[in-house]
Amino acid sequence: MSDPAAPVAFEMVRRPPSQRTVGLISGISGYRELARGRFSQREAAPLAIPLIISFGTPFTIALGREPDAADRHGSFAAGLYAGAVYIESDGGAECVQVDFTPLGAFRFFGGAVADLAARMIGIDDVLGGEGARLRERLGATDGWQRRFDIVEDFVAHRANHEPSPEVEFAWRQLARSGGSIRIATLAEEIGWSRKHLVDRFRFQFGLGPKSIARMMRFHRACRLARAGTPSGWAGIAADGGFADQAHLIREFTALAGEPPTAWARRLALTDSRLTRLQTAFSEG
């Protein structure tokens, strides 16, 4: 697969959550491609759980590998996956994407979150008739902002599942530490066995706390890289909770599908702060 490239002509509109959906979602996006062609993108171990409502040609999406013709997906929901997500489109894609926070996803999907882990499930299968009606209504509505209003109404009305207070506490502690706190320590603070905590995490998030901690550390490293740190990858490894630079490289390869230098080279096309990291790494 060649270096991912976004469509040369597309429309992208983003909206942050309103007061009624804050904490449930991190945002809503409207996306429309305007030029025909074959376009490739790669997402690195996303910590959001997306709901895609499609009005155009399906995306082809695969987890941890390049997609093929059998990987076509129209409207769907996808769970957490500790690896790179490969996405291709043909220039005719158009969709609304709702990015749920992991805690918000349980409130919205309930126990179906566990079924979504490392999978993409059609909107009719995960939301039933409600999903089909939502897609039809959005397809018949003009204007991104009107569509976003409809989606927010739908999310706010349906988000009625209560997560476990203990698991929510553990998630927030894990996030606050950037994925560095020991799982055994979390379990001890709650008063649960480690096994029970792992089981409850899988039920509410689809992945166990160890996998989620890896993803949190990885995303912290990405944020440090984008901040333009002068200390290079060795400094990012130390600040991000990795054992050493070799550990950081292994995690990038597993979660982003490429080592950090390749990741930085690709993203430097749109973020000049990463150019300095390439130099710092080569000189380190």
pLDDT band at residue 268 under the 50/70/90 scheme: confident
Ranges of CATH 1.10.10.60 domains, the chain: 165-283
Contact at 8 Å (CB) between 20 and 73? Answer: no
279 vs 59: which has the higher pLDDT: 59
% of the chain exceeding 70 in pLDDT = 91
Over residues 71-123, the pLDDT tens digits come to 999 999 999 999 999 999 999 999 999 999 999 999 999 999 999 999 999 99
The torsion of the CA quartet 59, 74, 66, 64, rounded to 10 degrees, works out to 130
Q: At what angle do helices 260-267 and 273-283 cross, to 10 degrees?
A: 150
Contact at 8 Å (CB) between 252 and 263? Answer: yes
pLDDT band at residue 246 under the 50/70/90 scheme: very high
Arch. (CATH architecture) of 165-283:
Orthogonal Bundle (1.10)
Ranges of CATH 2.60.120 domains, the chain: 10-158
pLDDT score at 274:
55
Say how far residue 269 (Cα) sits from the centre of its chain. Answer: 21
Contact at 8 Å (CB) between 100 and 48? Answer: yes
Tokens of 230: 């002068």
pLDDT score at 273:
56
Asked if residue 158 has pLDDT above 50, the reply is yes
pLDDT score at 280:
44
Q: At what angle do helices 165-176 and 102-109 cross, to 10 degrees?
A: 160
> Domain spanning 10-158 has what CATH number?
2.60.120
Over residues 4-45, the pLDDT tens digits come to 444 457 899 999 999 999 999 999 999 999 988 888 889 999
Over residues 78-88, the pLDDT tens digits come to 999 999 999 99
